[in-house]
Amino acid sequence: MAHNTKASHTVTLTDNSNGKTIELPVLQGSIGPSVIDIRKLYADTGYFTYDPGFTSTGSCESTLTYIDGDVGILRHRGYAIDELAENADFLEVCHLLLYGELPNATDKKQFENDITMHTMVHEQMRNFYNGFRRDAHPMAILCGVVGAMSAFYHDSTDINDPNQRLISAYRLIAKMPTIAAMAYKYSIGQPFQYPQNDLPYAANFLSMMFAVPCQKYEVNPILAKAMDRILILHADHEQNASTSTVRLAGSSGANPFACIAAGIASLWGPAHGGANEAVLKMLNEIGDVKNIPAFVAKAKDKDDPFRLMGFGHRVYKNYDPRAKVMQETCHEVLKELNVQDPLLDVAQELERIAREDEYFIEKKLYPNVDFYSGIIFKAMGIPESMFTVLFAVARTVGWIAQWKEMIEDPSQKIGRPRQLFTGIIERPFVPVDKR
Ligand code: SDX
């Protein structure tokens, strides 16, 4: 539960047009930048603030995830991401995000069992897939099927009932891998694979993705561990675009399934979660290390919209701590699969060149979480069109934990930003024969 903090001091705003001053309280969190509480600004001064892209705006209080972009720190409920990636499994991180604590042995077993018991989807949901073309982008399928979950699980859409909030969270965490794997199977014309209750979360996902009815499927434990770690790295990330979308959708009282579908839609963009798919497209387009300088030059050219995908971040002005773990995982997976992917050489040389280039140094552009993930997924046999789907599977726990925190925050109200209007002020209607 987000706790309301008290003012540590005030700042004074002076309106130089009339000499009026206003005192604004400054709220101090447990760590990170303090915030100027401007909730009374419009009532007291008639001014709105203006911050398109929210570069300097805090939208909420939260206790889930802390990022220090200057140093490259990411912590979930106080635990560093690299320690969680090294020592925890994804469901432990889900428990941590939902309940605020890593589970003890008893709670861990109970949570794993509860999630397992929700991994199947309503049998009629299978019919949705037949309505899509086989070449439909799996993110389009995910948006549709997840949004439709509220038609099947209406018994967990009362957002004011804490039990129903929790059941919908469990259903979403548990069913996303199933829905995602079904989208992949549908695209390749293979039969859907049911979840296996004796498999842990990540292994179950790989089984639903790659098992076929004709033979027994053995999950590679190295790949299952790598997938589990990748899910941890993508689980939550403060108030990013898709999480803010989920919070804004939820602030109107929309049901959690609809809110998560909105988050999926926002994540799809290439500037956000869609970047992992865009990185692989870019690496394929570069093709060979000898072409890197030309692409780096394009990325630096103000008149060229091209950007190095997988580079840069609104918050991280240092190395994304997740990218470091991703790069290690990349080497681990390619070694396990004995894959020599020339794109990894291109990616590493691209990172080396970019990080020595004045433009990237001055703008503090580093590889982000999306830079290496595509090479890993490709080595695992996952098609590019599924990369952002995997991001969505992992991020579902972050979205739903942030949604739950918002709903349970007593100060929560509907999100309704204002604007700076620069359009035509007023004019009389003109009949069509006079236009
Ligand atoms: C994710 O918010 C999150 O937490 C997101 C995420 C999460 O876990 O939820 O971390 C996941 O979305 C990671 C980011 C994935 N996106 C990409 O890799 C796409 C490529 N990156 C860029 O589009 C960009 O870096 C953003 C969108 C990620 C961040 O953009 P900002 O914060 O709005 O920064 P900006 O566009 O204002 O860039 C600052 C400057 C600009 O130059 P100037 O106008 O100041 O001269 O840096 C330049 C940009 O042109 N720049 C780049 C660049 N990214 C920024 N130049 C070349 N290549 C790039 N990748």
Half-sphere exposure of 124 (CA within 13 A, CB side): 5
Cβ distance 256 to 146 under 8 Å? Answer: no
As a whole number of angstroms, the distance between CA 203 and CA 291 comes to: 38
Report in angstroms the alpha-carbon separations of 269 from 106, 139, 244, 253, 309. 40, 10, 14, 25, 12
Bridge partners (DSSP) of residue 68 are 73
Give the number of C-alpha atoms closer than 13 A to the C-alpha of residue 11, restricted to the C-beta side.
10
Query: d(Cα 201, Cα 207) in Å, to the nearest integer?
Result: 10
Q: What is the pTM (predicted TM-score) of this model?
A: 0.96
Give the span between the Cα atoms of 118 and 146, in whole angstroms. Answer: 15
* Ligand 1 lined by 307 (C-beta under 6 Å): yes
Q: Within 66-137, where are the H helices? A: 81-87, 90-99, 105-116, 126-130
Alpha-carbon distance of 396 to 235, in angstroms, equals 7
As a whole number of angstroms, the distance between CA 209 and CA 303 comes to 42
Kindly give the distance from the C-alpha atom of residue 301 to the centroid of ligand 1, in angstroms, as a whole number: 15
Q: Which of 313, 320, 341, 433 is catalytic?
A: 313
**Best mutation site among 247, 267, 307 for ligand 1 pocket (most ligand atoms within 8 Å of CB):** 307
Amino acid at 387: F
The candidate with the shortest Cα–Cα distance to 353, out of 385, 311, 412, 317, is 311
Å from CA of 311 to ligand 1 middle? 7
Q: How far apart are CA 411 and CA 61, in angstroms?
A: 10
Q: Which DSSP string corresponds to 366-379? A: -B-THHHHHHHHHH
Divide the 435 residues of the chain into consecutive groups of 10 and give the mean pLDDT of each group: 72 97 96 96 97 96 97 97 98 98 98 98 96 97 97 92 97 98 98 98 98 97 97 98 98 98 98 96 96 95 95 94 95 94 93 93 94 95 97 98 97 95 98 98
Q: What is the pLDDT of residue 2?
A: 43
**Residue 299 CB neighbour total at 10 angstroms:** 21
What number does the ligand 1 atom closest to the CA of 272 have?
12
Of the candidates 228, 351, 332, 376, the residue with the CA atom closest to the CA atom of residue 286: 351
Q: Beta partners for 320?
A: none
Could you say which DSSP state residue 319 is in?
A: -
Reply yes or no on whether 154 is catalytic: no
Instruction: Copy the structure tokens of residue 141.
Output: 């399928």
Separation CA 332–CA 335 (nearest Å): 5
Q: What local confidence, expressed as pLDDT, does residue 6 receive?
A: 77
Residue nearest to atom 31 of ligand 1 (CA): 314
Q: Given this model, what pLDDT does residue 146 score?
A: 98
In angstroms, the Cα distances linking 385 to 98, 333, 394, 400 are 29, 20, 16, 24
pLDDT for the residue numbered 1:
38
Atom of ligand 1 nearest to the CA of 312: 25
The alpha carbon dihedral of 71, 75, 79, 80 has a sign of negative
DSSP string covering 282-306, please? HHHHH-SGGGHHHHHHHHH-TT---
Phi, psi of 311 (to 5 degrees): -115, 145
Taking the centre of ligand 1 as the mean of its atom positions, its distance from the CA of residue 16, in whole angstroms, is 35
Among the atoms of ligand 1, which is closest to the Cα of residue 273?
12
Kindly give, in sequence order, each residue whose CB lies less than 8 Å from that of residue 381, ignoring residues fewer than 6 positions away.
Answer: 210
Contact 99, 92 (CB under 8 A): no
What gap in Å lies between CA 63 and CA 414, rounded to an integer? Answer: 20
| Distance from C-alpha of 363 to C-alpha of 89, rounded to nearest angstrom | 35
Catalytic (active site) residue 370: yes
